[in-house]
Chain A
Amino acid sequence: MQDNLRPVFIIAYREVRDQLRDWRIIIPIALLTLFFPFLMNFTAGQVVGFVQQYGANLLADRFIPFLLMIVGFFPITISLAIALESFAGETERRSIEPLLGSPLSDWQLYLGKLLASLIPPLLASYLGVIVYLIGIRRTANWVPSVDFLILVLLLTTVQALVMVSGAVVVSTQTTSVRAANLLASFIVLPMSLLIQGESVVMLWADYGVLWWAVLGQVILAGLLVRMGLAHFNREELLGKEIDTLNMRWAWKVFSRAFVGQARNPGDWLKHELPPALRRLAIPVAFMTITLVVVTWVAADQARISGLPASVFSMDKLTTLDETFLDQFREIGFFSANGVFSIWLHNLQTILIATLLGVLTFAVGGVLVLLLPMAIIGFFAGAAGLAGIRPITFLLAFIMPHGLFELPAIILSGAAILQIGAALLTPAHNMTIGEAWLRAFADWAKVALAVVMPLFLIASALEMFVSPHFMLMVLGGL
């Protein structure tokens, strides 16, 4: 292991030395490390003095820790510029090519550059924090608790890691620093929003929330590092010369993966669909387990929330009669149009989930699909508080259409997970783009041949049978 890590440190050491030879990096770091903390000290002193005139000591108490976070954050912003230069700059100047021709592994090169982009800004940030703390101790006699100091240092570190790992992903998708800088707004804007959010929490002094922010960013950084490792490979770096979208090629890959060797629809159903479904086996298992866990947790949340059952009028469920069906009729149930509208609604949900999934490594898409079950689970839990067995409630609400709808949701979620995973996993013998298009073709196959028909059957059952079933199950309670 030590032998494998040695090249990582060799690369990191060279790059850090190179940065220290560049005044364009040294001067901002020096200013942000030494001058900026003094400025923040001065600002803190002025603000504290000002608000104390009006007895707003609370504001002063909140402002000093807030500035500590800001002092830690500013130097790490340079990590983004260093990372873009290190990854996209080297690729553009082709100085990365001799390294790619050497016996280094992709991950060693990636990790070496990642460390090199992190170390100087982080050291500068820690040093800035120390300078600020020394100053604030003298001017305002303020000393942070160990917990809080660790929290701020961790926040700073994960923010730097998120920015650098994001910069790598951006850099691997471009062939020039200019393009990488333009794409970097996808990192800068969310980070600015994050810092604003953290600032609000900091001023609110709800530091527990910031620990969750650390955890969230650790997960995000983990995903970005994974994605960076998948993208930062020789093939991706040297396989493209210009930043263009080749739509013709993309369509060709997609259509080839979608149609496969099939000569007609029957052939397609027989030979192309089953392998696509088999490829989804693991994500299907994951989705199924997640769906069960989410429903259970949501039901439990109803119990924990301590809300009285009357809030949800669950008691009314025990007095259902035939008029209940009339209510359904009034809102359009028991009609062919209703079937169509529920079907369209479900398809719309799948499309939104897919879009969100594409943008969020599948996380957002899966959340959208889990949400209805979480709500039903919560109400099942609430029903339990009203004396109705949660399982009875669940059956009443999701049967019999759920027999078709749930597999459709699970399959859609699985296909979205596969699309997300394609971005995070090194593809064997193909580019990331190709792997992603193939995953997308699997999604299209499953959506067209399985999910859409399942939803159509589910919609028909939901429209014509489920209200009767609900009445049958709940009415007699």
Chain B
Amino acid sequence: MIETHELVKKFEDFLAVDRVSLNIPAGEVLALLGPNGAGKTTTVRMLTSVLRPTAGWARVAGYDVVTQAEQVRASVGVLTEQHGLYGRMPADDYLDFFGQIYRMPAALRRKRGGELLEQFGLAGDRKRRIGQYSKGMRQKLALARSLLHDPPVLLLDEPTSAMDPESARLVRDAIHGLRSAKRTIIICTHNLPEAEELADQIAIIRRGRIIVRGTSTMLKESLLGPAEYQVQFAAHLPNSLPELPANLKIHKHGPDWLRFYPLDPLQDNPAVIRHLVGQGLPVLGLTEVPRSLEHVYLQAINAPDGVDILNMRNLANNAALTPQASEAAYAG
């Protein structure tokens, strides 16, 4: 649904996007992460045929972003970083205006606009001028605008920023719903837990280049090493540490817990539990040690230039999450 190949954008002598290649099938969500000025917005603008690529090509919803720009824009719903709302207009009129721009019939405009205002909890304020809306309400209205013409592709820049937790949940649920409805979505965000929750794939962009891309699990494994598991006991461990199956070793332990790296969690984890229970230990549970996307993000962003980030796995285990420490770890 979204396919790009070696997409490049130069502004005068500034390289904003550098050979970005993506392939996002229908019904998949990609989270595009990166620091400010990394090239996220420029990439999105090229995908909406707002900016023309300097080199490379992109197809969105089957249309070429250069030669079929109008069809691309008709197939895409965009939530821009700045919402671009007209303060003196009521929400009703605003959605109706954009419905006309997208050439929707009047009855459909009214129906769809009403549904979206209802969905995002704005139905009661539909006649109020947008200038009187709170930040979160504006954000929801802008999102409603991007969904109005029911586009197959959605490009959402910070969809839940400035929202209270309840509204943010509402929006995240809406995005889940859109994914189920086979919409292709790119989310640009700095909200990493949200990216992890919503996205099937995560791409991290730095200085215009996508430096890593994959599922959250894959990125964690690649950058932070294999998943570590913790066994929690109902009582303190005996003085002599218990034994794990032959091929596994205890990595860390506490008074009532121990951690290990399974080679294959599907096979090893049940074997570990059986082994420990067999030794008469009161096993309370076994869980993966949580590793946040933030660790992955910082690891990737702070990696030295030219490094194959996906092969930095072992370095990551010991590295503190500062650029200096990261570089030192790599050099070591």
Contact = CB atoms under 8 A, between A and B. Distances in A.
B86 A103 contact: no
Contacts of A102: 73-74, 98, 101-102
A330 B28 CA distance: 88
Contact of B50 (A10, A101, A240): A101
Contact of A21 (B76, B81, B88): B88
Interface in A92-134: 93-105
Nearest to A11: B101
A240 B101 contact: no
A99 B71 CA distance: 14
Interface in A1-16: 7, 10-11, 14
Interface in B49-100: 49-52, 70-71, 73-74, 76, 78, 80-86, 88-89, 97-98, 100
Given A10-B101, A234-B51, A96 B84 contact: yes
B98 A98 contact: yes
A94 B82 contact: yes
Contacts of A279: none
Contacts of B98: 98, 102
B88 A18 contact: yes
A252 interface: yes
B305 interface: no
B318 to A, nearest CB: 40
A246 B13 contact: yes
A10, A21, A103, A239 interface centre (most CB from chain B within 10 Å):
A103
Interface in B1-46: 11-13, 45
Given A21-B88, A246-B13, A101 B145 contact: no
B222 interface: no
Contact of A18 (B89, B101, B146): B89
B139 interface: no
A293 interface: no
A18 B13 contact: no
A95 B85 contact: yes
A145 B225 CA distance: 90
Nearest to A428: B52
Given A93-B82, A102-B102, A105-B70, A249 B12 contact: yes
Interface string A408-431: 000000000000000000000100
Nearest to B101: A102
B48 interface: yes
Interface string B175-212: 00000000000000000000000000000000000000
Interface of A: 7, 10-11, 14, 18, 21-22, 93-105, 234-235, 238-240, 246, 248-249, 252, 429
